[in-house]
Amino acid sequence: MPQSIVRNVKPDELGALPKNLHDWTSGFIEATGTAIALTSDSFDPTGCFVAEDKGSIVGCVAVTSLPRKNWLVVRYLSAKRALSRVYAVEKLLSRALQYVETKNPEFLRATTPSMQPYVDVYKSFGFRPVRRDFRITWDLAGTSEKENKQVEIREVTEKTAPEISEVYVESVRPYWDWRTEEQGGEEAVAQKFKEGLKKGERWLSGSVGKSVVGLTGLIPDYYRTGEARFRGTFVVPEYRGRGYGRTMMSQALSWAKKLGQHKITVYTFSYLECLAPGALLYMGSGGKIESEYLQLQRAL
């Protein structure tokens, strides 16, 4: 059996990884988002390792930093024909965890496509599943919008962003508290919302009287022309369960079409044993689950 060598990625090898990851995981890891992540300022290639077999790259893994100091996530553990390369997958994870030890970690989790051998390899290294993530897409040609609540829709501008960023922070509670913590707290989340707008994210707010009840956002042409990244639909806790989520979702779908999009894609989480309200809302509005991922955590 060929024995792979595991080593640090070389700078000129990074460019090919998104397509490799896509191919090795049958598209569960998508190339566009990965390419953006691997070229972002927060990505440190010293935490990225590859498996090499007879001169070809056949696997990889990366240790990435969360915005919160010393909080780390292992991602992109994958290999070409991984089921016949379990040993290389184990060697990659083992190398990544050695690297983690050098970073004074205070928190460690991983995220992986929900497929073998990755899930079992993580478990064999002491990781335990904590929640699932889904990639959900809408083919906008096949959706019809039904609204039953009257809300006043306004696009969020740079001027209204500071106020709306506070509403956003409120509207992710309590489901996304785990993520708010990973992002460094509520102020950091509000800041990120404002920065997102400057970088091309677009958001609609829905108001009833003077109160903003919900938000929905997207990044047009993110994946390719006509294919948006959907940032999700959020309703302020006190207004939930009254149809505003469905209404804001409907607004999002018609807005995306007006912006020339034919497909939108969101990543959202669910619990291990049941779907979260967001995933249910999305599936009820014509979204289809494309891929499933597992988040796992390891005690330090």
Ligand X SMILES: CC(C)(COP(=O)(O)OP(=O)(O)OC[C@H]1O[C@@H](n2cnc3c(N)ncnc32)[C@H](O)[C@@H]1OP(=O)(O)O)[C@@H](O)C(=O)NCCC(=O)NCCS
Q: Which residues lie near ligand X (CB under 6 A)? A: 171-172, 175, 232-235, 240-246, 266, 268, 277-278, 280-281, 284
Q: How far is the CB of 13 from ligand X (least distance, A)?
A: 33
Q: Which is nearer to ligand X, 20 or 251 (CB)?
A: 251
> Phi/psi of residue 11, each to 5°?
-50, -40
Q: How far is the CB of 258 from ligand X (least distance, A)?
A: 21
Q: Is the dihedral of CA 174, 178, 180, 184 positive or negative?
A: positive
- The two three-digit tokens of residue 233, written as one number: 């639909």
Q: What residues have CB less than 8 Å from 44, skipping those under 6 apart?
A: 64, 65
Distance CA 300, CA 290 (A): 33
Q: Which is nearer to ligand X, 100 or 219 (CB)?
A: 219
Q: Which of 218, 217, 231, 205 is nearest to 152 (CA)?
A: 205
Kindly provide the residue ranges of all beta strands, DSSP E only, lying in the chain, ordered along the sequence. 5-8, 48-53, 56-65, 71-79, 107-113, 128-139, 152-155, 202-208, 211-224, 227-235, 263-270, 288-297
Q: How far is the CB of 164 from ligand X (least distance, A)?
A: 14
Q: Which is nearer to ligand X, 74 or 236 (CB)?
A: 236
- The two three-digit tokens of residue 67, written as one number: 């915005």
Q: Which is nearer to ligand X, 241 or 260 (CB)?
A: 241
CB 189 within 8 A of CB 169: yes
Q: Which is nearer to ligand X, 122 or 230 (CB)?
A: 230
Q: How far is the CB of 114 from ligand X (least distance, A)?
A: 18
Q: How far is the CB of 247 from ligand X (least distance, A)?
A: 7
- Burial class of residue 55 (count of CB atoms within 10 Å of its CB; 0-12, 13-18, 19+): exposed
Q: How far is the CB of 240 from ligand X (least distance, A)?
A: 3
Q: Which is nearer to ligand X, 109 or 246 (CB)?
A: 246
**Which residue minimizes CB distance to ligand X?**
245
